[in-house]
Amino acid sequence: MKELTEAMPKALLEVSGKPLIEYGFDALPDDIDEIIVVVGYFGGVIQQRYGGTYKDKRILYVVQETLDGTAGALWCAKDLLKKRFVVMMSDDIYGREDIETCIEAGGWVELVQRRAAIRSKGKVEVDRHHNIIRITEGNHGNIPGLLGTNFFVLDTRLFDFPMVPKAEGSDEYGLPQTIIPAAKSLGIPFRAVEGTTWFEITDPKDLGKAEEFLAP
């Protein structure tokens, strides 16, 4: 995000006058009463702004000292997590209805979106029951398919298994790559649920596009 994040974390950049992280907070169903925020770069700014509560939800913080991927971030919070939980990116915009659908689906879930061109994102492959069997990182060009959004519904059994690198030779541990073998070993369905509302912020131009995306 270049100079936009020289003095603040990306999650506090605003879209239509509201920080990105609050779009995530507000999309959570009412019966989720606790949020764990994994912080790193300028994490203290987030803690100072929100403290221990957001509306009716309690907030806890953990620090990711080593930036070793999405699985590494989740593992930082494992001692605070209980039973079933959701995982979401603080700089993406999700829809509450999609989140509720994922929670109601049962088992382990990743929210996905069908795209006409996947390009350089995680390509999600499913079987005939919509269980995720493979996620491939890299440049896929303009082929159509399912794109992972990095929103998950999981439970603490995942932490009984080792983290898996995002790709061969990578020093980052990927959460979906870790989930797939764990789900297979436990016999838990890892379902792909297609969503309708998701916007990823990857560069400064996306902030303006997000405003258009959210406009009624």
Q: Name the class of domain 2-214.
A: alpha beta
199-207: long-range pairs with CB below 8 Å, 24+:
199/92, 199/93, 200/92, 200/149, 201/1, 201/10, 201/13, 201/15, 201/20, 201/91, 201/92, 201/93, 203/1, 204/1, 204/2, 204/4, 207/13, 207/14, 207/15
Local confidence pLDDT in tens for the 216 residues of the chain: 778 888 888 999 999 999 999 999 999 999 999 999 999 878 899 999 999 999 999 999 999 998 899 999 999 999 999 999 999 999 999 999 999 999 999 899 999 999 998 877 789 999 999 999 998 887 888 889 999 999 999 999 999 999 999 888 889 999 999 999 999 999 999 999 999 999 999 999 999 999 999 998
Q: Tokens for 125? A: 């492959």
The ranges assigned to domains in the chain are 2-214
| Residue 163: closest CA among 137, 150, 190, 181 | 181
